[in-house]
Amino acid sequence: MPAPLPVIPKREGEYWTARQRQMHSLHYVVSYRAAFKPELPDYFIRRYTKAGQIVGDPFCGRGTTVLQANILGRYAYANDISPFAVWLTRAKTNPVPLSEVCSFLAGIDWEGSVAESYPPELLLFYHPKTLHELLLLKKSIREAETPVARFVALLAVSRLHGHSPGFFSVYTMPQFSVPPQAQRRINRKRRQVPEYRPVLPRLLAKAKAALRDGQIAKIRRMSMHNCYTRCDARTLYGWQSESVDLIVTSPPFLNKVDYLANNWLEYWFLDIDPETFGAQMLQTANLEEWQAYMACFLQEMERVLKPGGVCVIEAGDVLYRKQTINLDETIAAALAAAGCRFLQPLEVLIQRQNFTKLSHCFAVTNNCKGTNTQRMLVLQKK
Ligand SMILES: C[S@@+](CC[C@H](N)C(=O)[O-])C[C@H]1O[C@@H](n2cnc3c(N)ncnc32)[C@H](O)[C@@H]1O
């Protein structure tokens, strides 16, 4: 007999603003598929923790929870199976002053020579001279291996592909790396060939925008004590039992986003081999499999949370076999099946808001008519 599903109280309202880009400028440095707004972790971190406590995110993505925790004076545990996500999170939580970025970039000989091979498909995106500068930058970053070099790499990654002249590439999609054959079609349709886009001024402009809101020393002081791991979220090696005060996280919603294919330009720039982790990604189109994964994940949450600690899981709704499924309900069913003795549901918080920009629609089925609903399952360890 399956365990009976608990009745979970629901609270519905507009708990944070629908306006875009209201939080610290570092949050917006790089786009990432299925990232949540920083207002979401901000709300729960303020509600459930005090300064000096520990906030974790086992599916950290671009590090939204982790950065917000550090900004609010909390320490953070960051985990993701993708080395790109962990790298992004570490780089964002270790910003450096603008003067250091300027000196690092001034030290590069942009006319120098570089003997590095590259995939020829890159020429669909970059003018040969832009690509030459990118190869020089990549080499300088690799040789330096310093915090400033990693921060410059973060800035470079943010400029690899996009719509506007502020990017290094010809017109392409900003949210993900378009596959070469699709870019070939875009170029043909738009009758475009990549023009020369100097790398240096674009990096400097991006550095100014990313560092605009300051607090660099404070973020670094907190992030020194962060813990960054790259594990499957069901087995968080390095996260001690009963050590975390609050988890704020968002797992992949079934197979809505292909994190491997979507980031190939970033992987090229950072020398990341997707073969090394692809098979471990939670990427399934099967709801039962997803629920079984979540049951093991919840057991791990029960292990790492302190007694009294809270776990917030954001999970939208998805279209599954022509039916809309609220994934928070699937997680509640997973909790009942997991047999967790101490982890109990507190509430489902439903954030409703009107949408002005459709560009933020994705992975959820109901937000394309100007409204969006986000559902957060809130659990507490007794
Ligand atoms: C919805 S995104 C999280 C986005 C994050 N909340 C943010 O704001 O950037 C889900 C993340 O889960 C990661 N992931 C996928 N499978 C995983 C696994 N088995 N263990 C840990 N992380 C995994 C993906 O790499 C992705 O970064």
Domain boundary among 210, 235, 268: 210
- The CA distance from 334 to 16, in Å, is 28
Question: Which residue from 343, 332, 247 is spatially nearest to 299, judged by alpha carbons?
Answer: 343
Contact 375, 326 (CB under 8 A): yes
Domain boundary among 191, 210, 229: 210
Question: Which residue from 346, 339, 338 is spatially nearest to 311, judged by alpha carbons?
Answer: 346
pLDDT at 358: 41
pLDDT at 367: 43
242 with 376, same domain? yes
376 with 288, same domain? yes
- The CA distance from 301 to 90, in Å, is 22
pLDDT at 372: 67
Closest approach atom of ligand 1 to CA 281? 16
Q: Strand pairing partners for 249?
A: 313
115 with 176, same domain? yes
357 with 324, same domain? yes
Other Cβ atoms less than 10 A from the Cβ of 109: the count is 9
Nearest CA, atom 27, ligand 1: 61
Nearest CA, atom 18, ligand 1: 232
pLDDT at 318: 86
Distance from residue 282's CA to the centre of ligand 1 (Å): 8
- The CA distance from 382 to 139, in Å, is 51
pLDDT at 363: 40
pLDDT at 317: 84
Hey, is 63 helix, strand or coil?
coil
Distance from residue 21's CA to the centre of ligand 1 (Å): 22
pLDDT at 344: 97
- Residue 91 within any structural domain of the chain: no
> Tokens for 366?
């109901």
**Most informative mutation of 30, 37, 59, 289 for ligand 1 (most atoms within 8 A of CB):** 59
- The CA distance from 54 to 243, in Å, is 8
223 with 304, same domain? yes
- Residue 349 within any structural domain of the chain: yes
Distance from residue 29's CA to the centre of ligand 1 (Å): 18
Contact 332, 345 (CB under 8 A): yes
- Residue 297 within any structural domain of the chain: yes
- Residue 272 within any structural domain of the chain: no
- Residue 373 within any structural domain of the chain: yes
288 with 357, same domain? yes
pLDDT at 255: 72
- Number of domains within the chain: 2
- Residue 277 within any structural domain of the chain: no
Segments of the chain with pLDDT less than 50: 357-370
pLDDT in tens, 312-344: 999 988 888 899 999 999 999 999 999 999 999
Distance from residue 117's CA to the centre of ligand 1 (Å): 31
147 with 223, same domain? no
- The CA distance from 366 to 316, in Å, is 9
- Residue 274 within any structural domain of the chain: no
- Residue 276 within any structural domain of the chain: no
The CATH number assigned to the domain holding 287 equals: 3.40.50.150
- The CA distance from 251 to 327, in Å, is 10
70 with 140, same domain? no
243 with 185, same domain? no
69 with 114, same domain? no
Tell me how many degrees the CA angle 250-254-256 measures, rounded to the nearest 5: 90
CA distances for 212 relative to 98, 160, 173, 221, angstroms: 9, 21, 25, 18
Q: Is 250 in the pocket of ligand 1 (CB under 6 A)?
A: yes
251 with 330, same domain? yes
Q: Is 85 in the pocket of ligand 1 (CB under 6 A)?
A: yes
Distance from residue 59's CA to the centre of ligand 1 (Å): 4
Q: Is 248 in the pocket of ligand 1 (CB under 6 A)?
A: no
pLDDT in tens, 84-102: 999 999 999 999 999 999 9
Nearest CA, atom 13, ligand 1: 59
222 with 167, same domain? no
pLDDT at 215: 97
**Most informative mutation of 37, 44, 80 for ligand 1 (most atoms within 8 A of CB):** 80
Q: Is 56 in the pocket of ligand 1 (CB under 6 A)?
A: no
**Residue 192, domain extent:** 98-210
